[in-house]
Amino acid sequence: MNFFQVENLTKKFGGLTANSDVSVNVEKGRIVGIIGPNGAGKSTFFGTVSGFYKPDGGRILFEGKDISGRPPEDTCRLGIARTFQIVRPLSSLSVLDNILVGAFLRDKNKKKAVARAEEVLELSGLKELRRQPAASLTIADKKRLELARALATRPKLLLLDEVMAGLTPKETQDAVELIKSINKRGITLFVVEHVMEVIMPISDKVIVLDGGRKIAEGLPEAVANDPEVIKAYLGERYYAAGS
């Protein structure tokens, strides 16, 4: 049984086809990067596979179940969580309470939800900030909180939408370490990112979208040197670590 499989996914917004016939297969425990120029359809892909948008064609299979068109609360319960490119913490709530919101989605039992929130506070490095209102956090910590909230739902598959955009090099490095430690706990990750030097070294596989279509898929180094990918990035060339 495939862990996560997307077959010929198509999503349209009126006359615009944001995802066209996209097929992807993800093995359990991997980190898969999704890259592509602005407007390539990366966020739409996340939105559709997590149930925020209904697909216009194709199928989404998670652990053997067809979850196409299921709403986000269903996909979340099944074990798929996502972050948003634009972070939306509940500003007046504390860091801990924001994480608890995620934990309660998974577990209505207060004791269990609090225990999960504590675990996530520790893992995400937000322990010291637990009582701070979310509104007072830096961008980097807001992104960390967004990730923590998704983690609190105990996902099997976590979709990260540009969690490193706008961070300093040090903050980016911290975020990379956090992603790696989440993956080490057995969580499969799908990571959309513009910062290619960051995504290439941590991904087991990279998928490239352009104009809504998948134009390449493979090992980071092969993808970075693929002529069609280079063309999509208007001649910019990115190299995987070690090349």
Ligand X SMILES: Nc1ncnc2c1ncn2[C@@H]1O[C@H](COP(=O)(O)OP(=O)(O)OP(=O)(O)O)[C@@H](O)[C@H]1O
Residues that bind ligand X (CB under 6 A): 13, 16, 18, 36, 38-44, 85
* Of residues 44 and 98, the one with the C-beta less far from ligand X: 44
* Of residues 10 and 132, the one with the C-beta less far from ligand X: 10
User: Which tokens hold the place of 16?
Assistant: 């615009």
d(C-alpha 179, C-alpha 146), whole Å: 13
* Of residues 18 and 216, the one with the C-beta less far from ligand X: 18
Closest distance of CB 195 from ligand X, Å: 12
Contact between 123 and 92 under an 8 Å Cβ cutoff? The reply is no
Closest distance of CB 116 from ligand X, Å: 30
Closest distance of CB 10 from ligand X, Å: 12
- Residue from 156, 214, 188 nearest 6 by CA: 214
* Of residues 14 and 64, the one with the C-beta less far from ligand X: 14
d(C-alpha 117, C-alpha 120), whole Å: 5
* Of residues 142 and 154, the one with the C-beta less far from ligand X: 142
Closest distance of CB 31 from ligand X, Å: 19
Closest distance of CB 42 from ligand X, Å: 3
Closest distance of CB 4 from ligand X, Å: 19
Q: What is the DSSP string of 50-99?
A: TTSS--SEEEEEETTEE-TT--HHHHHHHTEEE--SS----TTSBHHHHH
* Of residues 18 and 151, the one with the C-beta less far from ligand X: 18
Number of alpha carbons in the 13 Å side-chain half-sphere of residue 2: 12
d(C-alpha 91, C-alpha 232), whole Å: 38
d(C-alpha 6, C-alpha 13), whole Å: 19
Closest distance of CB 13 from ligand X, Å: 3
Q: Which residue has the tokens 């390539």?
A: 40
Residue 128, SS3 per DSSP: helix
* Of residues 41 and 58, the one with the C-beta less far from ligand X: 41
Phi, psi of 40 (to 5 degrees): -70, -20
